[in-house]
Amino acid sequence: MNILRKLLFSMAAVALFATAHSVCAKTPDNMLVIANRIDDINTLDPAQSFEFAGSDLIRNVYGKLVNFDPADLSKGYQPDLAESWTVSEDGKTITFKMRPGIKFHSGNPVMAKDAVFSLQRAVKLNKTPAFILTQFGFTADNADKAIKLIDDMTFSITTDKKYATSFVLNCLTSTIGAIIDSETVLAHVKDGDFGNDWLKTHSAGSGAYILVNWKPNESYTLKSNPDFYLGAPKMTKVIVRHIAESATQRLLLEKGDIDLARNLNPQDITGIKGNSDLSVYNDLRGRIMYISMNQKDPNLAKPKVVEALKYLIDYKGMQDSFLKGQYTIHQSFLPKTYLGEIDDTPYKFDVAKGKALLKEAGLADGFELKIIVREAQERIEIAQSVQNTFSQAGINVSIEVGTGKQTLAKYRAREHQIYVGAWGPDYPDPNTNAGTFAYNPDNSDEAKATGILAWRNSWFIPEMSKATLAAVQEGDRAKRAAMYQAIQRDHQQRAPFAIMFQKIEQTGQRSNVKGLNTGGAITAVSYWPITK
C-alpha cells in the first residue's frame, strides 16, 4: 500500500509538472499548421495521384508547364515552367520553350528533357488519371514520337487531331502535368516501374515547397524552397495534420494550435463566426448537384414536363436550409471558375408555372414518379424536398434509397426515372463536364456509353454533341468560352438535367492568416502566397 501510495503520488506529480508547461499555443510566425483529412492520399506520384489532399500537396511541390495563378484564378492558365509556346498551323503540335534558370529541389536544372520524360512517363504508366493525357491520342506506343525533345530547352507535343490549345493546356495544369526531375527519378527505377514505387513516398519537383515527409493518415510536412522562382515562400514550414473530426479541428483552431481548419462542418462554422480571432474563408469547388430525368420514360420525355419539373424545385429553400453554407444555387453544367462559366439562373420555384406547363403537356392530373437516391444525407434531403414540391403540382413521388453501388448500377443501366446526382469534374477544362452533360452522339443501348451522363438519361442530342466537339477544337480561347456559354444556355432550356447547386468549401482560419487560396473548382490549394 505504501508503494502504491508513492506511485500514485509521483504519477500525479508528473502529470501536474507536465501540464504546467503545455500552455504554449500559437503557431510560430513562419510556420503554417493545417488540420485536414488526408487519409485519402495513397500516393505522391503525380502520374498516379487523383485525390483532393494529394493534389494539394503536389500543387505545392511540383511545377507544371502552365499553371493557375492563385492571385487571380480567372486569368486561366499562365506560363509556369514553360515560358512560352507556339501552335502549329494544323493546330496539332504545340512547341514549348522552357523557362531558363529554374532548378529542381535536387539542384538539377529544369530542362525540356524533364518535361518530355514526365509526360511520356505519365502516358506509359497508365495509372488512374492517365486518361487526361491519353484523350489527346497519346499511347504507350506513340508517346516517344508524339512527345518529342527538340533541344535542351524546347520540346513539342503532337496530338492525334486538332484540339483547342486551351483544352490541352488546361489539362496540363492538372496534377498529372507536374514536371518531374528525370535524373533523380531515373536513379530510382525498379523493374521498369518508371520510379513509380519510389515516387509514391518521395518527391522530385521544383515547386515552392520541398517534401520533408509524409506519414499516411497522420501528417505531411513541407519546407520552403528558397530558390523558388517566384520568390522564397514566407512560411518556411507547412505541416498538415490529419484530424478527422470537425469538432477537434475547431478546438485546435480556437486554441491557436493550428492556422487553418479545412473540414469544419456547418455547425462548427456557425460556432466560430462570433470569434474575432477567427474567420471563415469560402471557396467554390467543382462539385455539382443535379437531378436528371430519364428520357426513356414516356412522361419525362415530354419537353413541357422537363421544363415543368425545373420550376417545381425549391432551389432557394434548400440552399437556405439544410444546404446552408455548403452549396450555392447554380443552374449550368460548368462550375463557376471554369472557362465559359455562366451565371444565369432562369429557374425559380413556381408551382403555378409548373402546373400550367404540366397542363400543356396533358398531365394536369399529375402522374406517378420514382426518385432513386443513394444513402447520403444531403442527397436524401434533396430528394425529400423535391418529393414535397412536386406533389404540390399533383405529381406523386416515391423515393427509393439504395447504396451508392445499387443506385449507380440502375442509373448506368438507364432503369431510373429520376436520379439525384452529384458530379465532380475530372480536370480543369470545360470539356470534362460538357463531354458528359452535353454529348451523346449514339443513344442506342448497344453503345453502352455508361460514363456519359446524357446517355445514362437516354437524351439523344446529335446537334449539341457536334457543338461540344466543335468547342473542343476551337483554338481561340475567347471564342471557345463563348461556345460553351451558348451550349449551356441551350442546355438549360432543353436538357433533362435540373442542375441545382455548386459546392462551397468553407475553411476556418486564424485572422492573422492572409493570402489563402484553396484553388476554386479548377485547382488545389496554394501555400506559397500565404503570410501571417
Partner 1 sequence: MVTQNTTGKGWLKLSIPSWISGCGSVIFTVLITMVGLLFVTFIIGRVMPIDPVLSIVGESASRATYEAAYQELGLDKPLLVQFFIFLRDIAQGNFGESLLTARPVSQDLLRVFPATMELATMGTIVGVLLGVPLGVIAAVKRGSWIDHIARVVALVGYSMPVFWIGLIGLLILYGKLGWVGGPGRLDIFYVDIIPRVTGMILVDSLLAGDMVVFRNAISHIVLPAGLLAYYSLAYISRMTRSFMLEQLDQEYIITARVKGLSESAVIWRHAFGNVKVPLVTVIALSYAALLEGSVLTETIFSWPGIGSYITTALLSADMNAVLGGTVVVGLVFVCLNIFSDLLYKFFDPRAR
Q: Which is nearer to partner 1, 130 or 313 (CB)?
A: 130
Pick one of 13, 25, 189, 478: the residue that binds partner 1 (CB under 8 A).
25
In this structure, are residues 330 and 318 in contact, taking their beta carbons and an 8 Å threshold? no
Q: Which is nearer to partner 1, 186 or 251 (CB)?
A: 251
In this structure, are residues 338 and 430 in contact, taking their beta carbons and an 8 Å threshold? yes
User: Minimum Å distance from CB 502 to partner 1?
Assistant: 20
DSSP-assigned letters across all residues of 442-499: --SGGG--TT-HHHHTT---HHHHHHHHHHHH---HHHHHHHHHHHHHHHHHH-SEEE
19 scored as a contact of partner 1 (CB under 8 A): yes
**83-91, 250-258, 300-308, 509-517 -> range binding partner 1 (CB under 8 A):** 250-258
**128-136, 315-323, 329-337, 470-478 -> range binding partner 1 (CB under 8 A):** 128-136
Pick one of 10, 30, 39, 321: the residue that binds partner 1 (CB under 8 A).
39
244 scored as a contact of partner 1 (CB under 8 A): yes
Taking the C-alpha atoms of residue 443 and residue 408, their distance in angstroms, rounded to an integer, is 19
Pick one of 6, 11, 189, 398: the residue that binds partner 1 (CB under 8 A).
11
In this structure, are residues 390 and 293 in contact, taking their beta carbons and an 8 Å threshold? no
Pick one of 142, 201, 388, 493: the residue that binds partner 1 (CB under 8 A).
201
Chain CA centroid to CA 124, Å: 24
Taking the C-alpha atoms of residue 31 and residue 234, their distance in angstroms, rounded to an integer, is 9
Taking the C-alpha atoms of residue 261 and residue 133, their distance in angstroms, rounded to an integer, is 33
C-beta neighbour count of 42 within 10 angstroms: 14
Q: Which is nearer to partner 1, 80 or 254 (CB)?
A: 254
Q: Which is nearer to partner 1, 4 or 352 (CB)?
A: 4
**Residue 225 cell numbers, joined:** 524552397
**Residue 239 cell numbers, joined:** 505541416
Site residues (CB under 8 A) for partner 1, limited to 414-473: 426, 451
C-beta neighbour count of 2 within 10 angstroms: 6
Q: Which is nearer to partner 1, 88 or 213 (CB)?
A: 213
Site residues (CB under 8 A) for partner 1, limited to 223-242: 239, 241-242
Residues that bind partner 1 (CB under 8 A): 1, 4, 7-8, 11, 14-15, 17-19, 21-25, 27-28, 31, 33, 39, 42-43, 50, 126-128, 130-131, 134, 200-201, 213, 215-219, 221, 239, 241-245, 247-248, 251-252, 254-255, 257, 403, 405, 426, 451
